[in-house]
Amino acid sequence: MISRRILIIAGIVLILFLGMYTWNQRTRALDTLASTVGLEVTGAVLASMRAVQDGVTAFWNRYFDLVNVREENEHLKARLKEMDAKILAVREAQEELKRLRALVQLPLDESWRSFAARVLSGRMGPNAALDSVTINRGYATGARPGTPLVTQQGLVGRVFRASPHTATALLVTDPASRIAVFTQQGRALGILFGQGAGKTLEVNFVRRDAKITRGEILITAGLDGKFPKGIPVGLVVNVSPSDYTQFISIEAKPIVDLQNLEEVLLLEATGLAHSVTEPDDPPPIFVGPPAPHAAAP
Amino acid sequence: MNFVRNLVWWLFFIATAVCMQTLAPSLDVFVVGIFILLQERDYKNMFWLLPLFVLLQEGMGTRLFGGVIVWYAAVIIFFKIGQWLFEVKNFLFVFLLSSCLIAPYYAINWLMALLQNLAFSPRDTLDRALIQALFLPFAWISFALTRHLTMQADGSGQQ
């Protein structure tokens, strides 16, 4: 009698759970609630923890860890002078690039703007099945689902789930990640697949006659509009022609060190379309870049 | 006073658990809270803490809502089965219970990956289940000790 009652209760609970599960899969109502409450609380706790950690580290660095500071300071001053000189050179090159772009009518890509976010933690909790990181920006502060994440080295991933002030981002190494990429030199198009944390990436659907060398950089193709074009994603480590398909098999490693991420940049679409149409007017006659300011009368 | 101490301890537990979960991927520290609630038969606090634990875990995770409910249901069922056979407030019981929880941890991960069409790595899942099983008894000792000290500090601890 008791066992029958237990079975009936277990059956009812199972039906209720499956009902809730399918209803949530359709409406995502519980996922939204969990993201808003759970992720927000987690973000608040972790942000406080990081603030305390920063405070303690700064205190330690400022007052206790002063060994070799004088030598380091002198070395850094020398480096600063060197960097100032390099910045001047780069600024000149940048100005030249602007002028050349204007000459060939290539508009600057203003369709994305970037802002910084801090990585609060890696994958957290028993429900974290995907290879992901938690960042300190949410949909109210620019990290809407789908927003690309980059560092100065290259692509990190995209925002997967967001609460108002905290978000979870899917990394390029996750097996659910798919990104259209080009090889930088050969311009061969392929689809980049993640294979899990700490594993290499795989590029599929690259035509057999494509010329790809080891060490070549893979960049985002930007064809889907989800990622800006030209961001480095991976480095080719192995190329092998497949005997069974019409494609070649490429292995790559992520260009960004995803195990030690601290800060990332979020790229938000500005809504300004990147011009791809043919210009109405004929291109201007090439007359060379204008003379540098110093040389101008 | 005891109510305030209890509330403060649980808030401390939640904050510490969130921070500790950053140490290893897929680690669940909130299970220790469920152990403590069940050991103390504190169903009044369980009424609000359990949904909060579920919301926190589901919120910081990346799977669809539901997996954590099944996982915590398994924890409670295994605890109740163990309760018939053992004294629940000792290290050996917690160690045995966490070892037994390897099986539901693995099964739930496999089931959820299957239901949500996610990649499933048997070896990674087993590693995580073992880390969880090794971590739980020591985390339980630490938290139980702080709870004992907090609740007994003014001689009016929870019985």
A-contacting residues in B 65-84 (Cβ below 8 Å): 65-71
Residue B157 lies in a domain: no
What range does the domain containing B110 cover?
2-152
Chains A–B, number of C-beta pairs less than 8 Å apart: 130
Q: So what's the pLDDT on residue A109?
A: 64
Give the residue-averaged pLDDT of B124-133.
Answer: 92
Q: So what's the pLDDT on residue A104?
A: 57
Q: So what's the pLDDT on residue B88?
A: 86
Higher pLDDT: A249 or B134? It is B134
* Preferred mutation among B60, B80, B110 to probe A, highest tally of A CBs within 10 A: B60
In 3D space, the residue among A166, A163, A236 whose CA is nearest the CA of residue A203 turns out to be A236
CB contact under 8 A, A45 and B71: no
Q: So what's the pLDDT on residue A287?
A: 44
Q: Which residue of A has its CA nearest to B21?
A: A124
Residue B159 lies in a domain: no
- 3-state SS of chain A is CHHHHHHHHHHHHHHHHHHHHHHHHHHCHHHHHHHHHHHHHHHHHHHHHHHHHHHHHHHHHHHCCCCCHHHHHHHHHHHHHHHHHHHHHHHHHHHHHHHHHHHCCCCCCCCEEEEEEEEEECCCCCCCCCCEEEECCCHHHCCCCCCEEECCCCEEEEEEEECCCCEEEEECCCCCCEEEEEECCCCCEEEEECCCCCCCEEEEEEECCCCCCCCCEEEECCCCCCCCCCCEEEEEEEEEECCCCCEEEEEEEECCCHHHCCEEEEEEECCCCCCCCCCCCCCCCCCCCCCCHHHCC
Task: Place B139 in a pLDDT band, splitting at 50, 70 and 90.
Answer: very high
Closest-CA distance, A195 to chain B, in angstroms, reads: 9
**Count of structural domains, chain B:** 1
- Contact indicator for A247, A206 with CB cutoff of 8 Å: yes
- Contact indicator for A124, A169 with CB cutoff of 8 Å: no
CB contact under 8 A, B62 and A130: yes
Residue B83 lies in a domain: yes
Q: Which residue type is seen at A98?
A: K
Q: Which residue of B has its CA nearest to A17?
A: B66
> Does residue B159 belong to the interface with chain A, where contact is any CB pair within 8 Å?
no
Q: Which residue of A has its CA nearest to B77?
A: A10
Rounded to the nearest 5 percent, the helix, strand and coil shares of chain B are 75, 0, 25
Share of chain B above pLDDT 90, in %: 64
Which tens digit of pLDDT belongs to each residue from B22-80? 888 889 999 999 999 999 998 999 999 999 999 999 998 888 888 999 999 999 999 99
Q: So what's the pLDDT on residue A289?
A: 42
How far apart are alpha carbons A266 and B154 in whole angstroms? 51
> Does residue B105 belong to the interface with chain A, where contact is any CB pair within 8 Å?
yes
Residue B54 lies in a domain: yes
Q: Highest mean pLDDT range out of A88-97, B12-21, B81-90?
A: B12-21
Share of chain B above pLDDT 70, in %: 95
Q: Which of B15, B26, B56 sits opposite A38 (nearest CB)?
A: B56
pLDDT of B158 over the 50 cut: no
- Specify which residues A235 forms β-bridges with: A217, A253
> Does residue B57 belong to the interface with chain A, where contact is any CB pair within 8 Å?
yes
Collect all residues of chain A within an 8 Å Cβ-Cβ radius of residue B50: none
* DSSP three-state, residue B94: helix
Residue B140 lies in a domain: yes
> Does residue B121 belong to the interface with chain A, where contact is any CB pair within 8 Å?
yes
CB contact under 8 A, A130 and B18: no
Collect all residues of chain A within an 8 Å Cβ-Cβ radius of residue B57: 38, 125-127
Q: Which of B59, B70, B109 sits opposite A34 (nearest CB)?
A: B59
CB contact under 8 A, A17 and B58: no
CB contact under 8 A, B65 and A21: yes
CB contact under 8 A, A124 and B15: no
How far apart are alpha carbons B82 and B77 in whole angstroms? 9
Collect all residues of chain B within an 8 Å Cβ-Cβ radius of residue A196: 119, 121, 124
Token representation of residue B55: 């919301």
Closest-CA distance, B134 to chain A, in angstroms, reads: 15
Q: Which of A41, A48, A196 sits opposite B56 (nearest CB)?
A: A41
The whole-model pTM stands at 0.77
Q: Which of B28, B59, B105 sits opposite A37 (nearest CB)?
A: B59
CB contact under 8 A, A17 and B70: yes
Q: So what's the pLDDT on residue B153?
A: 64
Residue B158 lies in a domain: no
Q: Which residue of A has its CA nearest to B18?
A: A42
Closest-CA distance, B107 to chain A, in angstroms, reads: 12
Contacts with A184 (C-beta within 8 Å, 6 or more apart), sequence order = A216, A217, A218, A219, A232
Q: So what's the pLDDT on residue A240?
A: 85
Residue B36 lies in a domain: yes
Q: Per-residue confidence of chain A (297 residues) as pLDDT tens digits?
A: 678 888 898 899 889 999 999 898 888 888 888 888 888 898 999 999 889 988 888 888 777 667 677 788 888 999 998 888 888 888 878 877 776 766 555 444 667 778 888 899 888 888 888 889 999 999 998 888 999 998 888 899 999 999 999 999 999 999 888 999 988 888 888 999 998 888 899 998 888 888 888 888 999 988 877 888 888 999 999 888 777 778 888 999 998 888 888 888 898 877 666 554 444 555 444 444 444 444 333
* Preferred mutation among A13, A31, A127 to probe B, highest tally of B CBs within 10 A: A127
